[in-house]
């Protein structure tokens, strides 16, 4: 019996380690297919000996190899030109369909080169409330929809707690492409993507914005304050002179790691519910 208990404890530790790796973004194998390292590599076929002079002649007569064909485009430099290009592309969009097409055609952000899909939005674009996170994760990148993984499941429960669902809310992210390994987007990448989310807000015209997490709040409020200082306090998101009432709150992924902080998120949700009911 003691051996069995020690084995169960070991397996629990293994499960925790695997979950930690998944949250850190380690979600793919080194190879597309498993390799049996015990397989012996067959020896090369025997060839007849060739005289040194003949071998040298063959080497000299061999045509130079053609340069490898370039498959991918060169990486874009995340500079002011990329930001201006994003502003032009976003400003030319007169509908959500135009905006999505512009983002799919945009090549100024290198995150697009490593992502599987553009993660545009989910929910009802005519809803009064818009939830905005930071960036897609693994599950979102695969499905092309925001908040569909573990954090998304918790967000659905948070919405249900105040009488909302994906038919009565609209959900998007500041960054539409998954950063490799779920790393934090760089300030340059965020500034390149900012015109798209701001135009997104303009086209949907929500009455209320909920910023999920510190990165989303800092970007949209243009502040350096942390989420613990910002959350629970009503703010204004200004886009081209139009202000929208906004509430910063804790990101569902953070709440999964720190479940004791759900009480703070619940306090924020109650404020959001009251504003929606009074509007």
List, as one string, the DSSP characters of 187-229: HHHHHHHHHHHHHHHHHH--SEEEEESHHHHHHHHT----HHH
Helix (H, G, I), strand (E, B) or coil at 242: strand
Question: What is the distance between the alpha carbons of residues 39 and 26, in angstroms, rounded to a whole number?
Answer: 27
Alpha helices in the chain (DSSP H): 2-23, 52-61, 80-91, 96-105, 111-114, 138-143, 150-161, 187-204, 214-221, 227-230, 252-257, 262-278
At 122, give phi and psi (nearest 5°): -150, 155
Average pLDDT over residues 162-180: 97
Q: Taking the CB of residue 188, how many other CB atoms lie within 10 A of it? A: 16
pLDDT per position as a tens digit, 74-129: 566 667 899 999 999 999 999 999 999 999 999 999 999 999 999 999 999 999 99
Task: Give the up-direction half-sphere exposure of residue 29: CA atoms within 13 A in the CB hemisphere.
Answer: 5
Please state, in angstroms and as integers, the Cα–Cα distance from residue 154 to each residue in 1, 10, 76, 215, 275, following that order.
Answer: 38, 28, 36, 19, 22
pLDDT per position as a tens digit, 197-256: 999 999 999 999 999 999 999 999 999 999 999 999 999 999 999 999 999 999 999 999
How do strand 170-173 and strand 129-133 relate by DSSP bridges? parallel
How do strand 170-173 and strand 235-239 relate by DSSP bridges? unpaired
Average pLDDT over residues 168-194: 96
pLDDT at 76: 66
Q: Kindly indicate the confidence band of residue 69, based on its pLDDT and cuts at 50, 70 and 90.
A: very low
Please state, in angstroms and as integers, the Cα–Cα distance from residue 111 to each residue in 68, 193, 203, 270, following that order.
Answer: 24, 10, 24, 36
Q: Which percentage of the chain shows pLDDT scores above 90?
A: 71
pLDDT per position as a tens digit, 253-271: 999 999 999 999 999 999 9
Q: What value, to the nearest 5°, has the Cα angle with vertex 107 and ends 103 and 109?
A: 90
Domains and CATH numbers, the chain: 80-278 (3.40.470.10)
Q: Kindly indicate the confidence band of residue 59, based on its pLDDT and cuts at 50, 70 and 90.
A: very low
pLDDT at 79: 79
């Amino acid at each position: 019996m003691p051996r069995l208990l020690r084995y169960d404890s070991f397996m629990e530790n293994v499960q925790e380690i695997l979950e930690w790796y998944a949250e850190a973004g380690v979600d793919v194998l080194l190879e597309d297919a498993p390799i049996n390292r015990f397989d012996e590599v067959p020896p090369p076929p025997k060839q007849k000996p060739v005289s040194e002079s003949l071998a040298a002649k063959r080497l000299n007569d061999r045509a130079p190899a053609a340069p490898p064909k370039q498959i991918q485009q060169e990486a874009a430099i995340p500079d002011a030109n990329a930001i201006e290009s994003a502003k032009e592309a976003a400003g030319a969009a007169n509908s959500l369909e135009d905006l999505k097409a512009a983002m799919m055609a945009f090549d100024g952000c290198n995150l697009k080169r490593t992502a599987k899909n553009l993660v545009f939005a989910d929910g009802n674009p005519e809803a009064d409330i818009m939830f905005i996170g930071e960036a897609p994760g693994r599950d979102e990148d695969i499905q092309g929809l925001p908040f569909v993984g573990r954090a998304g499941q918790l967000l659905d429960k948070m919405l249900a707690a105040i009488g909302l669902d994906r038919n009565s809310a609209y959900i998007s992210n500041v960054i539409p492409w998954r950063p490799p390994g779920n790393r934090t987007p760089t300030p340059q990448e965020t500034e390149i993507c900012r015109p798209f989310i701001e135009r997104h807000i303009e086209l949907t015209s929500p009455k209320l914005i909920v910023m999920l997490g510190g990165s989303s709040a800092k970007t949209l409020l243009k502040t350096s304050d942390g989420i613990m200082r910002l959350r629970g306090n009503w703010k204004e998101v200004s886009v081209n002179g139009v202000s929208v009432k906004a509430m910063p709150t804790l990101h569902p992924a953070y709440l999964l790691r720190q479940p004791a902080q759900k009480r703070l998120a619940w306090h924020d949700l109650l404020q959001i519910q009251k504003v929606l009911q009074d509007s």
